[in-house]
Amino acid sequence: MPSRTVVIGVDSSTQSTKAAVVDAATGEQLAVGRAPHVVTGENGARESDPEVWWRALGDAVAAGLKESGLPGRAVTGIAVAGQQHGLVVLDRAGRPLRPALLWNDTRSAPQAARLTAALGGPGAWTARTGSVPVASITAGKWRWLREHDAASADAAAAVRLPHDFLTERLSGVAATDPGDASGTGWYSTATGSYDPALLDLLGLDAALLPTVAPTGAARIGSLTEAAADALGLEAGIAVAAGTGDNMSAAVGLGLGGAGLLDHPALSLGTSGTVFAASRARPASAALSGFAAADGTYLPLACTLNCTLAVDRIAALLGLHREDAAAGGDAVLLPYLDGERTPDLPDAAGLLTGLRHDTTPQQLLGAAYEGAVFTVLRALDELLRACGLDPDAPEVAARPLRLIGGGARGRLWVETVRRLSGRPLVLPGSVELVALGAAALAASAAGGGDPVALASSWADASTYRQFDPVERDMETWQRIGSVLERAAEPLLSSAP
């Protein structure tokens, strides 16, 4: 095999770690190693031991190198993209004091609501951070920790996001990037720095936080001897600042900030997310106004319940996930973990419209429809926040980039087509978060713009295309009517 220069892009997600071994010149994904995570909790709690993430990173890198047939010395750089918003508290030795609170832990919803009110309402938050606190935002989790586990909060010598924790283990440097930092609730996208007033409101010492590197592509350090031994790599290779998973997916897609894109992205994974790149700083209570990894902005809306929720419905029905039919009269909102967009953290799953002739396959189909409706409705909110009418013919005709694990499922693709009526494009690479992290690693090791680099790589530019079909407005309106009726009592009883 000819010698290659490769980089490793790490996707440390809610459920697993994936380490992509990528040719730094061509972007070819030579191998992807995988290792699972463990998530625990009930009644809104979702936690993981950060040490599991570190062990999974080592296992995934080892598996990727073995599959590629390349030695560790061929690797010149590494970057981590991690699940956003998680709260990691460390002792003075850099060890976790307790399991991390994950992004989809909804116990902090009351704290988020109180924080919103304490600053003067949604407008005050969007003006400073670009986002309004909801249960997922890290600021609410810190307040929850101070109220429910004060011993851990008081003992904390460092506060990190999941990707920060792993990057520090690799490099020995406490650093984050603007993209992931913008999801904390204590970083201002208006100033590009931590916000002292918000830190005071939260009772959080800035000395506990990592330094914010200029961009996720910045080389913040070198792989330490200890990390090199653990991963089977050479000490001294470039470690990039990395970023959050959604920001990394945007890099992997080659999305730059030339304005609202013609192809907004819709990701179907544990969560459902929609985002687009923009040079204009978004500030709307209807979405998360995140920073992007390349110094621009990434307006984004997120739902909690997507592929895992539908898989759970399939398991309850004893069906394979592909054994479904259109829902007919049945409407199923699979809000098994509460919901983020719409902001209904106390919601539960809802089923209505049953008939004598309703089949199990239709119930599973209704779960697909409910999940896809929620994500597409979030897309409409994002477009409106960016000054576009989602129903305008020229906007509705814009293709959607469909990514995430669900994009590999026939029923997910067909349900998105039917309920959106839009053309779809599916990238050739299925590991876009890891691919984006690889571009960040390659930029840290050799210089250059990571978005331009990812755009030039073959895997990032190979797409499958699906023409639009007639939009199923009857199903859309039926689900919308059920959601409006269900949301009213939940909203009226919110804290």
Distance between CA atoms of residues 87 and 68, nearest Å: 34
Q: Give the residue among 249, 363, 255, 238 at the shortest CA–CA distance from 310.
A: 363
344 contacts: CB under 8 Å, gap ≥ 6: 335, 338, 487, 490, 491
CA nearest to 333, candidates 483, 126, 110: 483
Residue 120: CB atoms within 10 Å: 10
Give the Cα separation of 191 and 256 in Å (integer).
21
Integer CA distances (angstroms), 219 to 26, 136, 214, 447, 469, in order = 21, 29, 10, 9, 46
Please give the Cα distance from 401 to 468 (Å, whole number): 13
The residue assigned the tokens 């809104």 is: 44
Is residue 397 within 8 Å of residue 423, measured between CB atoms?
A: yes
Q: Which strand (E) or helix (H) includes residue 259?
A: none
Is residue 445 helix, strand or coil?
helix
470: three-class secondary structure by DSSP? coil
Q: Is 164 a catalytic residue?
A: no
Pairing of strands 331-333, 350-352: antiparallel
Q: Which position has the token pair 């429910």?
A: 148
For residues 209 and 188, give the distance between their C-alpha atoms in angstroms, rounded to a whole number: 14
Three-state secondary structure along 74-143? HEEEEEEEECCCCEEEECCCCCECCCEECCCCHHHHHHHHHHHHHHCCHHHHHHHCCCCCCCCCHHHHHH
Give helix 360-385 / helix 307-317 axis angle, nearest 10°.
170
Closest CA to 337 of 77, 107, 11: 107
DSSP structural state of residue 344: B
Q: CA 115 to CA 274: how far, in whole Å?
A: 25
Yes or no: say if 131 and 115 are a contact pair by the CB < 8 Å rule. Answer: no
Dist. CA 141–CA 106, nearest whole Å = 9
Dist. CA 205–CA 313, nearest whole Å: 43
Peptide bond into 342 cis (omega under 30): yes
Catalytic residue among 180, 195, 245, 337: 245
Instruction: Dig out the tokens for 297 from the structure.
Output: 């902005």
DSSP states of 223-249 as a string?
Answer: --HHHHHHHT--TT-EEE--EEHHHHH
Active centre residues (catalytic): 245
